[in-house]
C-alpha cells in the first residue's frame, strides 16, 4: 500500500495493521515485500546468539542475551529487488524467563511466525526438560493468539463464513502414518542441537543428534533452514538419518516406524509403561541421561542476580542504592513508631 504524504496518523496505523496481518508490504516501487517473524529460544548459554549472528552474516562478537532481545535482518531476493524483512526475537535465560514468550508470540505476527528451538547437546541431562518446558510455553501462547484472532475474525465477519486462521501447512495429510500418534506444533518449528563439536567427543552410544558453528558444513545447513523461515527462501532437500553423523531431518521426512524403538541394552523397554512412542523415548532418554535435580534446575528469575550478566560498575551502584533503600525503610519505620507513641 503506497504511503502518501497526506496520510493521517489513523491511515498510517491502518496500513501497519494491514501489513502485519498479511505479512507483506510495498516499497516505493509497489512490489510486495515479505515481513516474517522468527523467535529463538532454547538452552541457557546454548549458542543462540552465535548461531543467529552467523545466519545474519554479522561479523561481531556475541554477548549474553539479557532477558528478551530484538533485532532484524534484511535480504534481497535478487538484483535490484526489494529487501524482505525478518523481525527476530531472542529469549535468554533458558527456561527461567519462559513467561516472556507472550511478547514475541502475539496476534500481530501469528500468521508469519516461526520458532527456532536451540538445545545445548553438551548438556544432555538438561536437554529434554528444557525442550519440553519451552515448547509447552510457546505452544500455549500460540494457541492463545490463534484463539484471539479467531474471535476477532468471527466478530468482524458478522456471522459470514470465512476461512480459518489456522495455517494450512500445519495440517497433516490424511495418509500420514503417524497422524493419530503425534500433535504437530501449530506453526513452523526448527529444532537445532548446538555445540555438536563438544557432543561428538562423548560416548558413541550417546551420540544420536545436530549443529556447531565450528563446522562450516553444519553452519551452512543451518543458514539454509534459517533463511527458509526468515526470508522464505528454498529449504533445501538435504536429509541425513545416519546416527553416526549429524542428523538433518526436515519436517515430514521421517516417521515413527522409520525411527524405531529406542536403542537401549541396559533397560527393559516393556517395563517402562509408556503411553506413546514419544513417552517411551523420553523414559529411555532420561534413563541414559538422568535429569538434573530440582535444586540444580532452579534458575534465577532476576537477571540482575545472574553471574553471566555481571557489570562491576553498575552492580556497585545497584548495591549502594539497595543499601540506601534499606536505610530509608529503617528510618521510615522509626518515624512511624514515634508517631504511634505520640498519639
Question: Where does residue 171 fall: left (phi above 0), alpha (psi -120 to 50 degrees), or beta otherwise?
Answer: beta
Which residues fall within 8 angstroms of residue 168, CB to CB, at 6 or more apart?
Answer: none
Residue ranges covered by each domain of the chain: 16-255, 306-337
* pLDDT score for 168: 45
Q: Identify the pLDDT of residue 138.
A: 95
Q: What is the pLDDT along the chain (343 residues), one digit of tens a residue?
A: 444 444 455 555 655 555 555 556 555 455 566 899 999 999 998 889 999 999 998 988 888 888 899 999 998 877 777 788 999 999 998 898 899 999 999 999 998 999 999 999 889 899 999 999 999 999 999 999 999 988 888 887 755 555 555 554 456 777 888 888 888 899 999 999 988 777 666 555 444 435 556 677 888 888 889 988 999 888 878 888 887 778 888 887 888 888 888 876 677 777 778 888 888 889 888 888 898 765 545 555 566 666 666 778 888 888 888 888 888 888 877 776 665 555 5
pTM: 0.73
Report how far residue 319's alpha carbon sits from residue 269's, in angstroms, rounded to the nearest whole number. Answer: 54
77 grid coordinates: 531476493
pLDDT at position 1 is 41
Alpha-carbon gap, residue 126 to 112, rounded angstroms: 30
For 16-255, CATH gives 3.40.50.300
Contact 94, 299 (CB under 8 A): yes
Is the CB of residue 145 less than 8 Å from the CB of residue 165?
no
Residues 6+ apart with CB under 8 A from 257: 177
Strand pairing class (32-42; 24-26): antiparallel
Q: What 3-state class would DSSP assign to 223? A: helix
CA 135-140-141 angle, 5° bins = 100
- For residues 138 and 117, give the distance between their C-alpha atoms in angstroms, rounded to a whole number: 10
Closest C-alpha to 86, from 75, 102, 101: 75
Amino acid at each position: 500500500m503506497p504511503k502518501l504524504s497526506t496520510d493521517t496518523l489513523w491511515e498510517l496505523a491502518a496500513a501497519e495493521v494491514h501489513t502485519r496481518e498479511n505479512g507483506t508490504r510495498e516499497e516505493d516501487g509497489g512490489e510486495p515485500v515479505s515481513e516474517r517473524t522468527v523467535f529463538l529460544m532454547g538452552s541457557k548459554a546454548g549458542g543462540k546468539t552465535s548461531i543467529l549472528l552467523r545466519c545474519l552474516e554479522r561479523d561481531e562478537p556475541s554477548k549474553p542475551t539479557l532477558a528478551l532481545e530484538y533485532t532484524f535482518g534484511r535480504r534481497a531476493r535478487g538484483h535490484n529487488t526489494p529487501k524482505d524483512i525478518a523481525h527476530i526475537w531472542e529469549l535468554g535465560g533458558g527456561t527461567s524467563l519462559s513467561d516472556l514468550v507472550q511478547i514475541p508470540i502475539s496476534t500481530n505476527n501469528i500468521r508469519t511466525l516461526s520458532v527456532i528451538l536451540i538445545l545445548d547437546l553438551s548438556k544432555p541431562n538438561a536437554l529434554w526438560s528444557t525442550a519440553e518446558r519451552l515448547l509447552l510455553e510457546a505452544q500455549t501462547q500460540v494457541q492463545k493468539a490463534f484463539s484471539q484472532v479467531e474471535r476477532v475474525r468471527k466478530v468482524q465477519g458478522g456471522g459470514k463464513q470465512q476461512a480459518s486462521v489456522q495455517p494450512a501447512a500445519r495440517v497433516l495429510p490424511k495418509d500420514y502414518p503417524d497422524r493419530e500418534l503425534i500433535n504437530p506444533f501449530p506453526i513452523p518449528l526448527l529444532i537445532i542441537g548446538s555445540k555438536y563439536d563438544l557432543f561428538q567427543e562423548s560416548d558413541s552410544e550417546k551420540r544420536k543428534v545436530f549443529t556447531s558453528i565450528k563446522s562450516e558444513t553444519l553452519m551452512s545447513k543451518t543458514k539454509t533452514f534459517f533463511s527458509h523461515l526468515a526470508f522464505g527462501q528454498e529449504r533445501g532437500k538435504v536429509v541425513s538419518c545416519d546416527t553416526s553423523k549429524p542428523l538433518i531431518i526436515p519436517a515430514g521426512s521421517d516417521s515413527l516406524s522409520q525411527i524405531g524403538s529406542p536403542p537401549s541394552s541396559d533397560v527393559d523397554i516393556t517395563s517402562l509403561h509408556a503411553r506413546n512412542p514419544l513417552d517411551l523415548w523420553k523414559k529411555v532418554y532420561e534413563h541414559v541421561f538422568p535429569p538434573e535435580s530440582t535444586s540444580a534446575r532452579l534458575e534465577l528469575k532476576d537477571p540482575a542476580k545472574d553471574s553471566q550478566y555481571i557489570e562491576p560498575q553498575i552492580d556497585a551502584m545497584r548495591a549502594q542504592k539497595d543499601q540506601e533503600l534499606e536505610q530509608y525503610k529503617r528510618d521510615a519505620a522509626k518515624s512511624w513508631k514515634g508517631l504511634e507513641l505520640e498519639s
